[in-house]
Chains A and B, each alone.
Chain A
Amino acid sequence: MIVALVQAALPAALVIRLLAITATLALTRRPKACRFVSLGGSILASALTLTVAVHVISAGRTVDGVLVGHAASGITFGYVINPLSAWFLMVLGLIAIPVAVFSTAYFAHAVSGPRTSTVGAAFNLLLGALETVFAADGVIVFLFAWELMTLATVMLVAVGHEDLASRRAAFIYLVMSHVGTGCLIAGFLALSAASGSLSFAVLLSGHVVSGPMRHGLFALFFLGFGVKAGVIPLHGWLPEAHPAAPTSVSALMSAVLITAGVYGLLKVCAFGLGVPDVHWALLFMGAGTLSAILGVLYALTQNDIKRLLAYSTIEHSGIILLGLGTGMVFLAQDRAELAALAVTASLAHVLNHALFKALLFLGAGSVVTATGTRQLEQYGGLLRVMPWTGLCFLVGAMAISGLPLLNGFVSEWLMFQALLLGFGSTTGLMRLNFPLGGAMLALTTALAAACFVRAFGIGFLALPRSRAASEARESPASMLAPQAFLAAMCVACGLFPGVLVGALGRVTASLPGLRPRPDMVRSAMGIASVPESFDALVPVVLGTAMVLALALAWRVTNTDRAVRRVPTWGCGGELTARTEYTATAFSKPLMLIFRAVYRPTRKVEALADVSPYFPQEVRYRTSIEPTFERYIYGPLVRGVLHVADGMKVLQAGSLHTYLAYVLVLAVLLLMWLGGAR
């Protein structure tokens, strides 16, 4: 009975999404009904997915079934939810439900009436496609869902298509995704040609290909999935597409869409092509570190809050990859317990990143709705007018900075353990990669702290920097409740990491080559690492100590004296928003220190009427060089255009020529076939 129910859950979720899409499109003229039907259906479907995912993880048993079957031809497309896909489906469910609740109020503001049905339909389409991607049992279903996922995202990115930036973002995303999908199709075709099957169970058994072919396929899959995961230098679409989409959709993209790329990398590159080569692992670690450092460095200088969050997504994608790469080194060395630790760190970070990034994006959505701008320099003082949004954003900012007692610290802690154990278990020069990776991870985390002190402090504290900010109003409860839920999850995962690691123990146990240690979990409150118990972590103990110390601080300072409120000293002048420290100024020291990366340009213009010594107005302009756009994407695009230009000779536009091509090709093919026989 239960088995049948569980088996029906995912197909039911997909059917609900399809019904919701149909109903939404039918109700195009009634935006309000559209919102309720599409988002209500989405919540129901996500809840079903979440239930089945949690069931699979807790029971540790795979659930599979049939999605579509055609009796006459004997073709069936099935799904399979193993613990790994269940983990990703759980992340999807945990994020999609609050995002949908948030969107009921948010879409009313952010999406114009006639477009509501498109957005609602695309929202469900994206989630349904993602569910199918995570649960696909074969190549056909997977690629079909993968493509649907891309197209649904393009629809959502191009919602505001009157805007050139929005169209451009959608186009860049479409092109890059399709290049990636092309790589995937080539890779899967090669795999199925070698194995004669289309089912993942056969394709990804790890014994299909060997030798140089295996390396070639790895490269194809790395490119294909890397684009989705936003790995630098394949990240070009990410900072463009995130700001263009409605903010709640950006939350989904950062938290779930990116993880689809990670899921692919994990499923195929790490576990699907046999025991990973050490060089692949090093490539993962290198690309991960590069993405992490550059991602956070670029995030630091952004003044557009959504672009800032988008770059920070690249950073976290990099951290996830670093953990995965470490796990692959251990897999290559057949160190099952250490590999399980590193993969646990990586998967824990998938969930943690999804939680705090979705939280921050929803917070940004609230703020953008209230102020009408995405510019950090236009905010200020929002904590006063939006106290709850501010509090939730602060929790998210602290979690993403990897501070103890919150969830970001847990996965980064696990990652440090894995890196240290990696050093201990390898020999030769290669082992230096691990402490270097650790140092870079430490730098990334500390830079992220600077970045989010800036985002929170400039955005929410001190005086309002614009009228929009001073007139902002707190969001309605339906937008606050999802943020509160996500913030509570960040705290819960930070205080009870044992639950997280325990669940991941069942996930990693199902993966080939991994053997998680049972003593990794020390009750719900803490974790101990494998295998020599490098260190333990029990956040609750530190939390208790901090609460006691806080009480002491309160005791020694709190007296009955009244608090006197006085104006801040304005350095002899009047203190206004214009004398406040700006976001640009806050990141200036780091921009100068890392000028080799940023290559900043600066232009100061003094406009003077009478004498240059008495300027009427000073204009200051600073920008950083878009290195990747200029030196990688630019030449690539120019190269492709150049080749296309050359091919124009073939496309003469004359029907006779085309017919001649067909004839020549037919003759050549016949000759080739004849020769083969």
Chain B
Amino acid sequence: MLEALVAIAGALLQAAGMLAVAPLLKTGIKKMKARLQNRQGPPLTQGYYDLAKLLRKEVIRSETASWVYVAGPRVYFSAAVAATTLVPVLVAAAPLEASGGILLLAGTFTLGRFALAAAALDTGSPFGGMGASRDMTIAALSEPALMLGLFTSALAAGSMNLGVLARNVLQQGPSFHPSDMLAFAGLFIIVIAETGRIPVDNPATHLELTMIHEAMVLEYAGPDLALVEWASALKELLYITLLVDLFVPTGIATSASPLAILGALAAWTGKVVLFAIAVTLAESTNAKLRLFRVPELVSVSLALAFLALAIRFL
């Protein structure tokens, strides 16, 4: 009983914390990108201002849209929030890890994407359809690579449970086994693809024909858009945390002592910042790929994941 209460409290705290931090990550990357381009960039709090502004705005929706259009951002948002309870962040156990592991996490993201893609088709605007089509295409291609990459870690730990996975890596200490490096590289590509970053998608573009995720949510405004933006930021933070858990869980708390958790908070922040720098560098040094070159990138990731598996287990 007490355990369940602790889990629920942990889940609520973690969801709230991740929701609070997520906009910071997005602005942080924007800021670093601006600095690399010799621009000043927005202040770090800009993400919060944007959300507050959007949430205060008028609710404006298309005449042609049905309830699916309203449900889309809400389901997308709640799927991302629910996903936070499945990932270990500061303590080496996800708050609700009894409910399922990696597969459920991936499924939850797919649920959000499905809702948003269906909603994008609802306004009748061709851009929504185009965005939905491209988003589902890229998701379909990256799914096998994602699964194969996750399998490599799961098989090494003998579990699909993220808490067990993180504890396993922690126990073995930092490893520079080629298999880990390859699996990491493969998954990093997938994280780039799934979070809509250059070279797969450009989050800053306003050229309709090259947009993917942005085209999908082009019609949204006000509070509806705020939910989408917030959930996207949360999703990116979750993916980065997932990489941290799978490959460098160093510093994560293994007990619930306040000191360990404080230390874990510092370690996690540091690692997320490092990953954010990596994402920024990838964004700043690459050009966006043509849509039909994306499959090549994703197959590189698939090949890397497969090699990782082969090296480790054959």
A592 touches B292 (CB 8 A): yes
Residues of B within 8 A of A423 (CB): 151, 155, 313
Residues of A within 8 A of B291 (CB): 589
A542 touches B104 (CB 8 A): yes
Q: Mark B146-189, 1 if CB is under 8 A from A, else 0.
A: 11100100110011110000000000000000000000000000
Tell me, yes or no, whether B261 is within 8 Å of chain A by CB. no
Give the segment of B36-44, B114-122, B247-255, B280-288 that binds chain A. B114-122
* Contact A402/B107 with A383-B68, A564-B58, A593-B295 known, Cβ cut-off 8 Å: yes
* Contact A462/B124 with A541-B98, A553-B77 known, Cβ cut-off 8 Å: yes
Q: With A and B bound together, what is the CA distance between A432 and B114 in angstroms? A: 31
* Contact A446/B143 with A453-B136, A542-B108 known, Cβ cut-off 8 Å: yes
Tell me, yes or no, whether A556 is within 8 Å of chain B by CB. yes
Tell me, yes or no, whether B125 is within 8 Å of chain A by CB. yes
Residues of A within 8 A of B79 (CB): 546, 549
Tell me, yes or no, whether B88 is within 8 Å of chain A by CB. no
* Interchain nearest-CB distance for B207 vs A (Å): 13
Q: With A and B bound together, what is the CA distance between A420 and B103 in angstroms? A: 12
Q: Which of B123, B136, B295 has the most CB of A within 10 A?
A: B136
Query: Quick one: which of B123, B155, B313 contacts A462, CB cutoff 8 A?
Result: B123
* Contact A446/B159 with A461-B121, A552-B78 known, Cβ cut-off 8 Å: no
Tell me, yes or no, whether B81 is within 8 Å of chain A by CB. yes
A553 touches B74 (CB 8 A): yes
Q: Which of B127, B146, B160, B302 has the most CB of A within 10 A?
A: B160
* Interchain nearest-CB distance for A549 vs B (Å): 3
Q: With A and B bound together, what is the CA distance between A431 and B309 in angstroms? A: 11
A384 touches B66 (CB 8 A): yes
Q: With A and B bound together, what is the CA distance between A571 and B158 in angstroms? A: 53
Residues of A within 8 A of B75 (CB): 550
- Which DSSP category, helix, strand, loop or mixed, fits chain A's interface? helix
Tell me, yes or no, whether B59 is within 8 Å of chain A by CB. yes
Residues of B within 8 A of A581 (CB): 121, 126, 128-130, 132-133
B103 touches A457 (CB 8 A): no
B114 touches A438 (CB 8 A): no
Q: Which of B58, B68, B223 has the most CB of A within 10 A?
A: B68
Residues of A within 8 A of B108 (CB): 404, 542
Q: With A and B bound together, what is the CA distance between A268 and B38 in angstroms? A: 71
Give residues 250-269 of B contacting A (CB, 8 Å): none
* Contact A534/B158 with A542-B82, A542-B108 known, Cβ cut-off 8 Å: yes
Tell me, yes or no, whether A70 is within 8 Å of chain B by CB. no
Closest to B130 in A: A581
Q: With A and B bound together, what is the CA distance between A441 and B146 in angstroms? A: 12
* Contact A585/B107 with A450-B140, A549-B15 known, Cβ cut-off 8 Å: no
* Interchain nearest-CB distance for B289 vs A (Å): 13
* Interchain nearest-CB distance for A199 vs B (Å): 43
* Interchain nearest-CB distance for B248 vs A (Å): 23
Give residues 439-461 of A contacting B (CB, 8 Å): 439-443, 445-447, 449-450, 453-454, 456-458, 461
* Contact A535/B313 with A450-B136, A557-B55, A571-B126 known, Cβ cut-off 8 Å: no
B61 touches A565 (CB 8 A): yes
Q: With A and B bound together, what is the CA distance between A532 and B63 in angstroms? A: 54
Residues of B within 8 A of A454 (CB): 133, 136
Q: Which of A420, A533, A541, A547 has the most CB of B within 10 A?
A: A541
Residues of B within 8 A of A388 (CB): none
Closest to B139 in A: A446
* Interchain nearest-CB distance for B177 vs A (Å): 18
Residues of B within 8 A of A586 (CB): 129, 132-133
* Interchain nearest-CB distance for B23 vs A (Å): 13
Closest to A406 in B: B111
Tell me, yes or no, whether B17 is within 8 Å of chain A by CB. no
Tell me, yes or no, whether B274 is within 8 Å of chain A by CB. no
Give residues 370-405 of A contacting B (CB, 8 Å): 381, 383-384, 394, 398, 401-405
Query: Quick one: which of B85, B100, B118, B295 contacts A536, CB cutoff 8 A?
Result: B100
Tell me, yes or no, whether A36 is within 8 Å of chain B by CB. no
Q: Which of A458, A556, A592 has the most CB of B within 10 A?
A: A556
Q: With A and B bound together, what is the CA distance between A535 and B100 in angstroms? A: 6
Tell me, yes or no, whether B45 is within 8 Å of chain A by CB. no
* Contact A442/B147 with A450-B136, A541-B99 known, Cβ cut-off 8 Å: yes
B139 touches A449 (CB 8 A): yes
Query: Quick one: which of A539, A561, A565 contacts B99, CB cutoff 8 A?
Result: A539
Query: Quick one: which of A381, A542, A568 contacts B96, CB cutoff 8 A?
Result: A542
Q: With A and B bound together, what is the CA distance between A443 and B142 in angstroms? A: 8
Tell me, yes or no, whether B60 is within 8 Å of chain A by CB. yes
Residues of B within 8 A of A570 (CB): 125
B104 touches A404 (CB 8 A): yes
A545 touches B158 (CB 8 A): no
* Contact A535/B101 with A461-B118, A462-B123 known, Cβ cut-off 8 Å: yes
Q: With A and B bound together, what is the CA distance between A533 and B101 in angstroms? A: 12
Tell me, yes or no, whether B110 is within 8 Å of chain A by CB. yes
Count the A-B residue pairs with Cβ separation under 8 angstroms: how many? 278
Tell me, yes or no, whether A567 is within 8 Å of chain B by CB. yes
Q: How many residues of B contact A (CB 8 A)?
A: 86
Tell me, yes or no, whether A435 is within 8 Å of chain B by CB. yes
B117 touches A453 (CB 8 A): yes
Tell me, yes or no, whether A538 is within 8 Å of chain B by CB. yes
A545 touches B11 (CB 8 A): yes
B155 touches A450 (CB 8 A): no
Residues of A within 8 A of B154 (CB): 420, 534
B81 touches A545 (CB 8 A): yes
* Interchain nearest-CB distance for B223 vs A (Å): 4
Residues of A within 8 A of B309 (CB): 432, 435
Query: Quick one: which of A394, A457, A541 contacts B121, CB cutoff 8 A?
Result: A457
B148 touches A435 (CB 8 A): yes
B103 touches A535 (CB 8 A): yes
Q: Mark B65-79, 1 if CB is under 8 A from A, else 0.
A: 111100001110111
Query: Quick one: which of B68, B114, B160 contacts A403, CB cutoff 8 A?
Result: B114
Tell me, yes or no, whether B278 is within 8 Å of chain A by CB. no
Tell me, yes or no, whether B10 is within 8 Å of chain A by CB. no
Tell me, yes or no, whether B205 is within 8 Å of chain A by CB. no
Q: With A and B bound together, what is the CA distance between A556 and B122 in angstroms? A: 23
B139 touches A450 (CB 8 A): yes
Tell me, yes or no, whether A304 is within 8 Å of chain B by CB. no
Tell me, yes or no, whether A599 is within 8 Å of chain B by CB. no
Query: Quick one: which of B65, B98, B118, B148 contacts A438, CB cutoff 8 A?
Result: B148
Residues of B within 8 A of A450 (CB): 133, 136-137, 139-140
Residues of A within 8 A of B86 (CB): 542
Q: With A and B bound together, what is the CA distance between A184 and B63 in angstroms? A: 59
* Interchain nearest-CB distance for A412 vs B (Å): 8
Give residues 521-545 of A contacting B (CB, 8 Å): 526, 532-542, 545
Tell me, yes or no, whether B226 is within 8 Å of chain A by CB. yes
B295 touches A535 (CB 8 A): no
Query: Quick one: which of A403, A536, A566, A571 contacts B111, CB cutoff 8 A?
Result: A403
A568 touches B159 (CB 8 A): no
Q: With A and B bound together, what is the CA distance between A545 and B108 in angstroms? A: 11
Nearest 7 Cβ contacts at the A-B interface: A581-B129, A457-B121, A549-B78, A541-B99, A549-B81, A446-B143, A557-B223
18 contacts between A and B (CB under 8 A): A404-B104, A413-B104, A436-B306, A440-B144, A442-B147, A450-B140, A462-B64, A462-B124, A537-B99, A538-B99, A542-B86, A549-B15, A553-B74, A554-B74, A568-B125, A581-B132, A585-B133, A589-B133
Interface residues of B (CB under 8 A from A): 11, 15, 55, 58-68, 73-75, 77-79, 81-82, 85-86, 96, 98-104, 107-108, 110-111, 113-114, 117-118, 120-130, 132-134, 136-137, 139-141, 143-148, 151, 154-155, 158-161, 219, 223-224, 226-227, 291-292, 295, 302, 306, 309-310, 313-314
Q: Add 20 more A-B contacts to A453-B118, A463-B124, A552-B78 (CB < 8 A).
A: A383-B66, A403-B114, A413-B104, A429-B314, A442-B143, A443-B140, A443-B141, A446-B139, A450-B139, A457-B120, A457-B129, A534-B160, A536-B99, A538-B98, A550-B78, A557-B59, A562-B59, A565-B63, A568-B65, A568-B123
